Chain A
Amino acid sequence: AQSVTQLDSQVPVFEEAPVELRCNYSSSVSVYLFWYVQYPNQGLQLLLKYLSGSTLVKGINGFEAEFNKSQTSFHLRKPSVHISDTAEYFCAVSGQGAQKLVFGQGTRLTINP
């Protein structure tokens, strides 16, 4: 069975500061990893995904994540955040052949001016 742990439920940062949102996964088979963002009163939007290949994945809106198999982590980073990045961020995992996503509990990112 697969599971995802997002280590921080809330992360407050100042505008233009860097941010890292942490995600650890558990799986006995090959995994595919995703980060989604949910703005208030909206659905989910894919930020980036790791399927194979380079462990550093770049996504939309200046976000990137690094897949670390030995640490079973897939942390999301942005070097300089903006007020518009205020949202909830979800890490998710899917297995080979599996079509469902297993989500973490989410991290609420709050940007202070």
Chain B
Amino acid sequence: EAGVTQSPTHLIKTRGQQATLRCSPISGHTSVYWYQQALGLGLQFLLWYDEGEERNRGNFPPRFSGRQFPNYSSELNVNALELEDSALYLCASSLVRHWAGGPPYEQYFGPGTRLTVT
């Protein structure tokens, strides 16, 4: 079974440009999560998509956005890039419970996209 895949592996952009990162979940998973791993800031939750809808958002400015496609793959877009956006962006996928209670399903992580803003 193929795992979570992300592209590109590395991305170099200049300040002010836009970056687009892509993620393909494990087959059968409908939820996709994005996390940012920046030096000194640890792993921070960015966005959660399920069934094509944004379900939850972390404490990031609106220039971080994304979408989920009908095949459940996802894009993360970062507009007006700033130097501090340089980080490893990790995508994860999981099944999801469509009710509020109970434990979450395991999230499976991809290898990440390393974004460097110069």
Q: Which residues of A contact B (CB under 8 A)?
A: 32, 36, 41-46, 49, 51-52, 90, 92, 94, 96-106
Contacts and interface: CB of A to CB of B under 8 A. Distances in A.
B72 interface: no
Interface string B77-118: 000000000000010101011011111101111111000000
B42 A105 contact: yes
Q: Which 4 A-B pairs have the closest CB atoms?
A: A43-B109, A103-B43, A97-B100, A44-B109
A44 B90 contact: yes
Interface of B: 4, 31, 33, 35, 42-45, 48, 50, 55-56, 58, 90, 92, 94, 96-97, 99-104, 106-112
B87 to A, nearest CB: 14
B58 A100 contact: yes
B104 A32 contact: yes
Contacts of A36: 109
Interface of A is mostly: loop
B70 to A, nearest CB: 20
B104 A99 contact: yes
Contacts of B102: 96-97
Given A43-B90, A43-B109, A43-B111, A99 B48 contact: yes
14 contacts: A36-B109, A42-B112, A43-B109, A43-B110, A45-B109, A46-B107, A90-B43, A96-B102, A97-B100, A97-B102, A99-B94, A101-B43, A103-B43, A105-B42
A93 B43 CA distance: 12
B33 A32 contact: no
Contacts of B35: 101, 103
Interface centre among A36, A43, A46, A94, by most chain B C-beta atoms within 10 angstroms, is A43
Given A32-B103, A46-B106, A100 B42 contact: no
